[in-house]
Amino acid sequence: MVKLISISQALVVAEHLSFSRAARILGVRQSAVSRRVQELEDKLGVSLFEREVGGVRLTEAGRRFLERSRSALAEIDYAVKAAASAGRGAEGSLRIGVVSSLSAGFVRELLDAYRDSHRAIAMDFVEGSASEHIAWITERQLDIAFVTGTPQASHCDALALWKARVFVALPQRHVLAEESEIRWDALKDEHFIVSRGAPGPEIHDYIVHRLAELGRSPSVERYRVDRETLMVLVGLNFGVSLISEAGTGARYPDVVFRPIATSADILPYSAVWLPGNDNPALRRLLSLARSLSSGRPALRGP
């Protein structure tokens, strides 16, 4: 019999293309991961990975098997959570992906209104990048995600719901902290810090793109920390960073937020979901999102 734990560990190996990295993430010995994957391959009668000195590569059989297994495990996970929700008397469940902070902004308002009128709906939240969320939606691991931009994702529906300004996070004693708005030419010589995890990579690419327009190559340092710790580092003068308007509702020691003063730095945000997802809780959330969006004033730049 094929064990689910063996499939789960094989999926982690496939994601990182390394037995050693998979073992570190799983918190087990590398030999244990290798043994489970080998047992799985023996049961299936095929090789899932090609072992190489620098890591592993998926075989075609491995790619097909793990692709279907990922979707199957997502369905099992959803079934378990749905059963638990029913046991708590919940009337349904929603799995929601978020990229930006929930400390302020449209998604916070939406969730507050939805929770107020649908208290029996169990909600689960996942942070990640836009590309991760879209993949998880396609694999039915998420019902809906709120992402930056207006993505053209195959097999998914997307709806732009609101726009938000990009802000600079500065140490309180920074000379630019006295400004009410900041332009990119004032930031061209700054040292930026971002997180390695989402939304850090997107922020990194955004900084590179905007400063490239000024003919500058930015100084950007990545830290393996979450958003809250990153803001603490900003307050300690390790560098400046960018944050969406939604994140400015939180307060951090010795950190100030100032908007970037160009219309190009007002970004659209969208909801993404599978059109074939007939979850009634999702349909009610989308209906409320459309209603709230239509009632919000348009945000204009300078």
Mean pLDDT throughout 167-185? 96
90-117 pLDDT tens trace? 468 899 998 776 767 899 999 999 999 8
Whether 302 has a pLDDT exceeding 80, the answer reads no
Of the chain, the percentage scoring pLDDT greater than 90 comes to 48
Mean pLDDT throughout 189-210? 91
Q: Say what the pLDDT of residue 52 is.
A: 83
Whether 250 has a pLDDT exceeding 70, the answer reads yes
133-136 CB contacts, 8 Å cutoff, 24+ apart: 133/97, 133/99, 133/272, 134/272, 136/74, 136/97
Burial 251-290 (b: 16+ CB within 10 A, else e): ebebbbbbbbbbeebbbebbbbbbeebebebbebbbebbe
In angstroms, the Cα distances linking 149 to 81, 98, 99, 100, 269 are 30, 13, 11, 12, 5
How sure is the predictor about 300, in pLDDT bands with cuts at 50, 70 and 90? very low
Can you give the pTM of this predicted structure? 0.64
Give the whole-angstrom CA distance, residue 165 versus residue 148: 12
Mean pLDDT throughout 234-253? 92
Same fold, 91-156+269-294 and 163-266: yes
Whether 86 has a pLDDT exceeding 90, the answer reads no
Query: Which residue type sits at 170?
Result: L
Q: Say what the pLDDT of residue 283 is.
A: 93
From the candidate CATH numbers 3.90.650.10, 3.40.190.10, 1.10.3720.10, 3.40.50.620, the one assigned to the domain spanning 163-266: 3.40.190.10
Q: Say what the pLDDT of residue 84 is.
A: 62
How sure is the predictor about 78, in pLDDT bands with cuts at 50, 70 and 90? low
From the candidate CATH numbers 3.90.600.10, 3.90.550.10, 3.40.190.10, 3.30.1490.270, the one assigned to the domain spanning 91-156+269-294: 3.40.190.10
Q: Phi first, then psi: give them for residue 160, nearest 5 degrees.
A: -70, 125
Mean pLDDT throughout 29-36? 91
Q: Say what the pLDDT of residue 297 is.
A: 60
Residue with tokens 């959330």: 285
Q: Say what the pLDDT of residue 247 is.
A: 86
Mean pLDDT throughout 18-34? 88
Give the whole-angstrom CA distance, residue 118 versus residue 258: 36
Whether 154 has a pLDDT exceeding 50, the answer reads yes
Q: Say what the pLDDT of residue 47 is.
A: 92
Q: Say what the pLDDT of residue 74 is.
A: 73
How sure is the predictor about 89, in pLDDT bands with cuts at 50, 70 and 90? very low
Pick from 167, 168, 173: nearest CA to 254: 173
Whether 299 has a pLDDT exceeding 60, the answer reads no
From the candidate CATH numbers 1.10.10.10, 3.40.50.10070, 2.70.170.10, 3.90.280.10, the one assigned to the domain spanning 4-69: 1.10.10.10
The residue ranges of every structural domain in the chain are: 4-69, 91-156+269-294, 163-266
- Asked if residue 93 lies in contact with residue 164, where contact means CB atoms within 8 angstroms, the answer is no
And the tokens for 250?
């939180």
Give the whole-angstrom CA distance, residue 124 versus residue 137: 14
Mean pLDDT throughout 242-268? 91
